Amino acid sequence: MTATLTELRAGDVCRLAGISHRELDHWISTGRFIASGPPSSGGPGNHRTFTMADVYRLRAVKARREWGMELDAAFRTVDPPLPAPPAPPPS
């Protein structure tokens, strides 16, 4: 199933979040979702790892979509944009 309790594979995340692998891949490839897990440890290929926080975020997006919210809006409510960094002090 998983490498550790904190590192989840894509299949695990999809099953726990109730989304398809295709949805997850699309959301990642379009930049809407970024996995927060550490890089894959060992094995051939480049596999993403995820955390339970990712599962909760994806479940929240799925729920908002089921309520009729547009995809981008659903992601914005789950992952609001970061505030702009403060301006550098005058020199």
- Lowest mean pLDDT across 64-68, 74-78, 81-85: 81-85
Residue scoring higher pLDDT (91 or 73): 73
CA-based radius of gyration for the chain: 16
Spatial contact of 47 and 40, defined as CB atoms under 8 Å apart: yes
Q: What is the mean pLDDT of residues 1-15?
A: 75
Give the pTM: 0.74
> What percent helix, strand, coil does the chain show, rounded to 5?
45, 0, 55
Give the pLDDT confidence of 26-47 residue by residue, as tens digits: 999 998 998 887 766 655 555 7
